[in-house]
């Protein structure tokens, strides 16, 4: 529904490309920054092959697209805030992350960014 509203409001199509890219970068950042809840499973397996270098490389496509998005810096900051809060909550609640939590971070991150984009296009870009 938010996608249709954003398109109807004339939101930048670049924003609609940047949002999934940022959400997936957020998943990589979560994998790098939050320990796995258990020593088995997808999150632990992914974490063994990821480091800070890969997190920065994963950010490149999103950063390249954000250059074309009005207010794109706010989307990037909103994603960073989401990952910090979500990662902390998962660490406190479950002792870390697992593959399902990473998948939920992608979906939740996209929804969060769609809400931020809707707020921006509805109230700031009037």
Residue 108 has a pLDDT of 98
CA terminus-to-terminus distance, the chain: 20
Residues of the chain with pLDDT under 70: 125-126
From the list 14, 5, 29, 18, the residue with the least C-alpha distance to 81 is: 29
Residue 126 has a pLDDT of 60
Residue 101 has a pLDDT of 97
Q: What pTM was computed for the model?
A: 0.88
């Amino acid at each position: 529904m938010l996608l249709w509203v954003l398109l109807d409001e004339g939101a930048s199509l670049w924003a609609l490309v940047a949002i999934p890219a940022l959400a997936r970068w957020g998943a990589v950042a979560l994998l790098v920054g939050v320990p796995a809840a258990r020593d088995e499973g997808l999150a632990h397996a992914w974490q063994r092959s990821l480091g800070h270098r890969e997190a920065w490389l994963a950010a490149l496509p999103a950063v390249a697209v954000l250059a074309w998005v009005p207010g794109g810096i706010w989307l990037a900051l909103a994603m960073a805030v989401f990952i910090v809060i979500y990662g902390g909550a998962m660490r406190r609640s479950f002792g870390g992350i697992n593959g399902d939590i990473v998948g939920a971070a992608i979906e939740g991150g996209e929804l969060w960014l769609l809400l931020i984009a809707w707020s921006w296009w509805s109230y700031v870009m009037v």
